[in-house]
């Protein structure tokens, strides 16, 4: 029998990727993942300066952990621990209310540190998030609101923030029944409300129809297909399916969701760059631009889905390869010897077309660093 600890380790780890071409720059490092982690730590050697308890920090550090699992560099784990310890006191308490899904994502690091160190403080802190999930508000059909202040709103961003944590927690600590049901129901509910006929999903849905972003009066959805929201959902399906029992009754539905997105990703992939646009279906808009974090996420999903046999044919392998090559073109080494990843959208709410197109195109934003690491560990190693 496989232990819960082994299950957690395998899920947090790497699933053996298809080796694809490295970047073409003469000065390209042999290991882009290590270079990105090393460069980020060099810029912020004190982990407490990485930022507050937020999902972007949690995403980057989750990526750093997956690099750590491969290379066993002790400083990487120490950096993760140094950041988390700034928020967990000696008794394992965290001074947070967890009233939005974003605040739950970094809980994955608590599970990692409890596994790696055995320190019960991290389990106690993870218990605090798990307890909040029980009481957290939901739509009538069971979808966890994006935030307690966003009544009955479901955002595609949100599933990555809570569901993989809950599933890993359940498997690690004997809470599987609740975790399997809750996680798969949320993915089902979210996808059903957000799904569009073109192979994509809308950014958000409001069951009440009164959100300030003016939901469609018939469908309750937002108007546009924002790239990273779709990417969060795509990555979540991969994370969950890799843990879900083979005979789970919702497994086939989730694999179907992957197939839906794979069709959309190949349909809207930019033939010139291999990446995907900030507003995915509006490549011809003169203000649109290819966005690196979402392109990393889409590439990750396509590769993982092919590897697991959830999709086949349809040009998916070529799309994954073009996506990877396209992302690598946004990664470089500066004159200071540190890596830079460009064209990463800043944090983004639900908005109109001009809002999405006008988002800042950041360099080394943690959204993009974390997404790149998660992708690169699968495809390059």
pLDDT, tens digit (0-9, with 9 covering 90-100), for 242-257: 999 999 999 999 999 9
Distance CA 178, CA 25 (A): 48
Q: Which residue has the tokens 């943690």?
A: 366
Average pLDDT, the chain: 93
What is the torsional sign of CA 131, 191, 269, 322?
positive
- Average of per-residue pLDDT across 77-86: 98
Residue 105 has pLDDT above 80, yes or no: yes
What's the gap between Cα 165 and its chain centre?
11
Sign of CA dihedral 106, 107, 110, 111: negative
pLDDT tens-digit map of 165-206: 999 999 999 999 999 999 999 999 999 999 999 999 999 999
- To which residue do tokens 């779709």 refer? 230
* Positions marked catalytic: 157
Q: With cut-offs at 50, 70 and 90, classify the pLDDT of residue 314.
A: confident
Q: Are strands 344-345 and 339-341 parallel, antiparallel or unpaired?
A: unpaired
Q: Could you identify the residue written with the tokens 């290379």?
A: 71
DSSP string, 17-67: PPP-PPP--TT--S-HHHHHHHHHHHH--SGGGG-SS-HHHHHHHHHHHHH
| Furthest-apart CA atoms within the chain: distance in Å | 56
Q: Say whether pLDDT at 327 is over 80.
A: yes
pLDDT above 50 for 305: yes
Q: 204-240 pLDDT, tens per residue?
A: 999 999 999 999 999 999 999 999 999 999 999 999 9
106-128 tens-digit pLDDT: 999 999 999 999 999 999 999 99
What is the DSSP-derived secondary structure letter of residue 362?
E
What is the band of 28 on the pLDDT scale with cuts at 50, 70, 90? confident
| 73 vs 10: which has the higher pLDDT | 73
CB 27 within 8 Å of CB 75: no
Closest C-alpha to 108, from 165, 159, 69, 67:
165
Determine the Cα–Cα distance for residues 248 and 180; give it in Å rounded to an integer. Answer: 8
Say if residue 379's pLDDT is above 90.
Answer: yes
Are the C-beta atoms of residues 365 and 296 closer than 8 Å to each other? no
Q: Work out the average pLDDT over 30-56.
A: 98
**What are the φ and ψ backbone dihedral angles of 2, each rounded to 5 degrees?**
-80, 130
Average pLDDT over residues 50-72: 98
Q: Which two tokens stand for residue 126?
A: 């993870």
Mean pLDDT of 132-152: 98
Q: Would you state the structure tokens that stand for residue 300, as one six-digit string? A: 């990750």
Which sign, positive or negative, has the C-alpha torsion 353, 186, 299, 116? positive
Q: How far is residue 172 from each of residues 5, 7, 12, 166, measured CA to CA in Å?
A: 6, 8, 12, 10
The pLDDT of residue 10 is: 34
Closest CA to 368 of 288, 315, 292: 292
pLDDT at residue 5 tops 70: no
């Amino acid at each position: 029998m496989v232990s819960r600890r082994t299950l957690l380790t395998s899920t947090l780890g790497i699933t053996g990727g298809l080796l694809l071409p490295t970047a073409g720059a003469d000065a390209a490092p042999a290991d882009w993942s290590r270079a990105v982690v090393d460069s980020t730590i060099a810029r912020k050697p004190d982990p407490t300066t990485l930022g507050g308890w937020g999902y972007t920090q949690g995403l980057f550090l989750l990526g750093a952990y997956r690099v750590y699992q491969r290379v066993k560099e002790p400083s990487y784990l120490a950096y993760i621990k140094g950041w988390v310890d700034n928020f967990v006191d000696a008794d394992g308490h965290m001074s947070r209310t967890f009233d939005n899904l974003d605040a739950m994502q970094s809980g994955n690091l608590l599970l990692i540190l409890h596994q790696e160190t055995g320190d019960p403080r991290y389990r106690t802190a993870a218990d605090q998030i798990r307890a909040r999930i029980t009481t957290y508000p939901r739509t009538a059909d069971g979808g966890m609101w994006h935030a307690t202040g966003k009544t009955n709103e479901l955002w595609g961003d949100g599933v990555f923030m809570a569901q993989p944590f809950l599933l890993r927690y359940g498997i690690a600590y004997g809470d599987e029944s609740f975790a399997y049901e809750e996680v798969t129901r949320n993915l089902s509910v979210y996808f059903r409300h957000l799904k569009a006929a073109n192979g994509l999903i809308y950014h958000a849905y409001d069951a009440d129809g009164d959100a300030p972003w003016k939901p469609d009066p018939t469908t309750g959805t937002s108007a546009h297909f924002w790239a990273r929201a779709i990417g969060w959902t795509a990555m979540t399906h991969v994370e969950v399916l890799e843990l879900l029992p083979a005979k789970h009754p919702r497994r086939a539905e989730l694999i179907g969701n992957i197939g839906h997105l794979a069709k959309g990703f190949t349909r809207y992939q930019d033939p010139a760059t291999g990446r995907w646009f900030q507003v995915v279906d509006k490549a011809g808009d003169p203000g649109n631009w290819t966005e690196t974090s979402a392109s990393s996420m889409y590439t990750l999903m396509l590769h993982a889905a092919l590897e697991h046999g959830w999709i086949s044919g349809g040009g998916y392998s070529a799309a994954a390869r073009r996506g990877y090559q396209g992302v690598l073109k946004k990664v470089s080494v500066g004159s200071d010897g540190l890596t830079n990843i460009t064209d990463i959208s800043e944090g983004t709410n639900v908005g109109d077309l001009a809002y999405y197109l006008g988002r800042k195109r950041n360099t080394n934003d943690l959204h993009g660093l974390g997404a790149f690491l998660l992708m690169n560990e699968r495809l390059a190693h």
